[in-house]
Amino acid sequence: MQLLFTLLQLWTSVEATTNENLQHSENCDGSTFAAPVVPGASVLSITAEAKRNVDMPAAPGLFQPLSDLNFCEIKVYLTHQGVDDRVLVQTWLPLSQDLWNERFQATGGGAWATGMLDLALGPAIASGYAASSTDGGHPFDFLAADWMLKEDKSINWDLVHNFATRSLSEQVYVGKSLAEQYYGLQPRYSYWNGCSQGGRQGFAVAQRYPGLLDGVLAAAPALKLLDVVLSGIWPIVAMQEAGTLVSNCEFDWLASKALEECDILDGAKDGVIGDPEACTFDPLSVVGQKMECSGHKVEVTGAMADVVRRIHQGPTTPFGINVFPGLPHGTPLNVFLNITIDSDGFRTLHDPAVLDVFPRAVLLKDPTFNEYGWILDTDNSDLSAFRDTGAKLLSWHGISDPIIPYQNTVKYRQRVEREMGGAKAVDDYFRLFLAPGVGHCALGVGPVPIDPLESLRDWVEKGEPPETLASETTNQEGELVTRELCRYPRKPKYLATGDINKASNWGCEGEMAEGDDIAGGLRDALSQAGLA
């Protein structure tokens, strides 16, 4: 009798769940949703459509292939008073409530795309989130920035505003409202998830809209966006000033020499420079040595070595103050460049179109381009409002990132420490992790964080702040390499025993003492001013 009663309960539960899921599926219609309340914006239209058994191909370095996704796709178009814009906020909701983890995820963009739409929403849905993305009111294109200009070539500040800040908060208001209407339940927790441009946006949300989200995951952030653009051009400037072009092959050879000298600094020769700041390799030390490129011998010249040295150093003022960081040792120097040598030894600099689309399309149209900083920069070190809401900010950055040098993020963290009570106080709500050997958001030769959003969730929901981030990659031999990324300012160190590919044989060293961060920052400032 008890077994029969239990089966009856189970059947009733299944039948109720089935009916509930069917009801949600039927509710996936634009007419069932009320217009979300979005400060400063009005809703133009709402459409919704149930999507079933959707497959998405893999995105190398981002996510594996996704299959059999079932969700309600809702498209809300917004506009702003006095502005002729039409902004899409696209929200995906797991089609049935039993597929929803009762959490909301706002997703970031990349390059010059305000949001990545399907590319970001697919992984979020696969993990059980209700999720949103936005186009910012301009065409979806990672590499195009000409939408920032009107037909008369003046700046379209309304679209720049959407891209920089406004659309970021609006997708949260829309997504959370639609989730509550669809499920009859507010999301228990809400998060931001983005890298690169999405990382910059995550910091923008933390700085400008505190209290909107419970947690922000912002990786490889372009905190000072114009500096990032200009730092990409710096290698070309260095070569022009030196009167020489350094080929892809030569860059690679010089990088290999730095690796030979500095790989062992973390205790293991694993093909990764764990701490570029400790690497003292000087390209001038190999002047006169020869390499083979394009079938002929090339000798390292003083000009060639000086170009590489200056790329690592970054541009400086006549007073020796660094304008923005150079690329650290271990970072590919020819990501944006394509300089070839033909059989006669003639060198050609091919048009780096991916790099200079923004300077050509926008900066050169407006001689006052420095004014972009006020709206695009997200380096405000006052996080007190964010801290006071109880929210958490988790960031990680690949040390071998050739697009956004990791030093930008480190310097921002140091500024926050100086102004917000020191490292230990800041660790209560903002933690940073550095990933040796990892490129931009992924790739490279180093282990990449597996699921940093899960670590952020544990911090927000369980009160368990992350000390390390589980990471992994596959090396050239096809072997699995695992690491636990160290919480800044700690650095990885091989324990001198066991397989170097296993995280268990590595540790973290170097805890910053209370006050050291402030003293160090003062020393840096005095040094740059020529007073220390």
Q: From the candidates 401, 455, 471, 517, give the one annotated as an active-site residue.
A: 401
What are all long-range contacts of 200-203, with beta carbons under 8 Å and residues at least 24 apart?
Answer: 200/225, 200/376, 200/378, 201/108, 201/109, 201/168, 201/378, 202/108, 202/393, 202/395, 203/378, 203/379, 203/393, 203/395
Segments of 60-156 assigned E as strands: 66-80, 87-94, 103-107, 130-134
Q: From the candidates 96, 133, 196, 395, give the one annotated as an active-site residue.
A: 196
Q: What is the pLDDT of residue 371?
A: 61
C-alpha to C-alpha distance for 196 and 164, rounded to whole angstroms = 13
C-alpha to C-alpha distance for 85 and 3, rounded to whole angstroms = 62
Output the CA–CA distances (angstroms, integers) from residue 527 to 11, 319, 434, 520, 524, in the order listed. Answer: 73, 11, 25, 10, 5
One-letter identity of residue 193: N
Q: What is the pLDDT of residue 254?
A: 94
- What does the block give as tokens for 356? 């200079």
Residue matched to tokens 């989200």: 213
SS3 readout for 142-182: CCCCHHHECCCCCECHHHHHHHHHHHHHHHHHHHHHHHHHH
Are the CB atoms for 75 and 108 separated by under 8 Å?
A: no
Q: What is the pLDDT of residue 227?
A: 78
Q: What is the pLDDT of residue 18?
A: 36
Are the CB atoms for 71 and 52 separated by under 8 Å?
A: no
Q: What is the pLDDT of residue 361?
A: 54
Q: What is the pLDDT of residue 40?
A: 95
What are all long-range contacts of 513-522, with beta carbons under 8 Å and residues at least 24 apart?
Answer: 514/422, 514/423, 514/424, 515/422, 516/423, 517/414, 517/417, 517/418, 517/422, 517/423, 517/489, 518/417, 518/418, 518/422, 520/414, 521/414, 521/415, 521/417, 521/418
Q: From the candidates 440, 455, 471, 517, give the one annotated as an active-site residue.
A: 440
- Whether the bond between 436 and the residue before it is cis, its omega within 30 degrees of 0, is no
Question: In 3D, which of 208, 212, 127, 210 has the Cα closest to residue 174?
Answer: 212
Total residues belonging to the chain: 532
Question: In 3D, which of 251, 194, 252 has the Cα closest to residue 223?
Answer: 194
The DSSP code for 195 is E
One-letter identity of residue 254: L
Q: What is the pLDDT of residue 530?
A: 41
Q: What is the pLDDT of residue 293?
A: 86
Question: In 3D, which of 530, 151, 223, 220 has the Cα closest to residue 377?
Answer: 223
Would you call 55 a catalytic residue per the annotation?
A: no
Output the CA–CA distances (angstroms, integers) from residue 415 to 134, 370, 372, 380, in the order listed. Answer: 31, 22, 22, 9
Would you call 524 a catalytic residue per the annotation?
A: no
Report, as ranges of residue numbers, the positions in the chain whose pLDDT lies below 70. 1-26, 60-62, 351-372, 511-532
| Reported pTM | 0.87
Could you tell me the sign of the dihedral formed by the alpha carbons of 475, 477, 480, 486, in that order?
Answer: negative
Main-chain dihedrals φ then ψ at residue 298, nearest 5 degrees: -125, 130
The DSSP code for 108 is -
Q: What is the pLDDT of residue 343?
A: 75
C-alpha to C-alpha distance for 14 and 10, rounded to whole angstroms = 6
Main-chain dihedrals φ then ψ at residue 42, nearest 5 degrees: -125, 155
Residue matched to tokens 């992790």: 433
Question: In 3D, which of 194, 238, 240 has the Cα closest to residue 213?
Answer: 194
Would you call 231 a catalytic residue per the annotation?
A: no
C-alpha to C-alpha distance for 363 and 242, rounded to whole angstroms = 25
Using DSSP, state whether 301 is helix, strand or coil.
coil
C-alpha to C-alpha distance for 299 and 321, rounded to whole angstroms = 32
Segments of 253-385 assigned E as strands: 290-293, 296-299, 339-341, 347-349
The DSSP code for 184 is S
Q: What is the pLDDT of residue 372?
A: 67
C-alpha to C-alpha distance for 325 and 401, rounded to whole angstroms = 12
Using DSSP, state whether 198 is helix, strand or coil.
helix
- What does the block give as tokens for 164? 């920089």
Are the CB atoms for 484 and 449 separated by under 8 Å?
A: no
- Show me where the domains of the chain are located: 22-187, 189-223+378-532, 228-364
C-alpha to C-alpha distance for 314 and 312, rounded to whole angstroms = 6
Rg (CA), the chain: 25
Residue matched to tokens 């893999």: 58
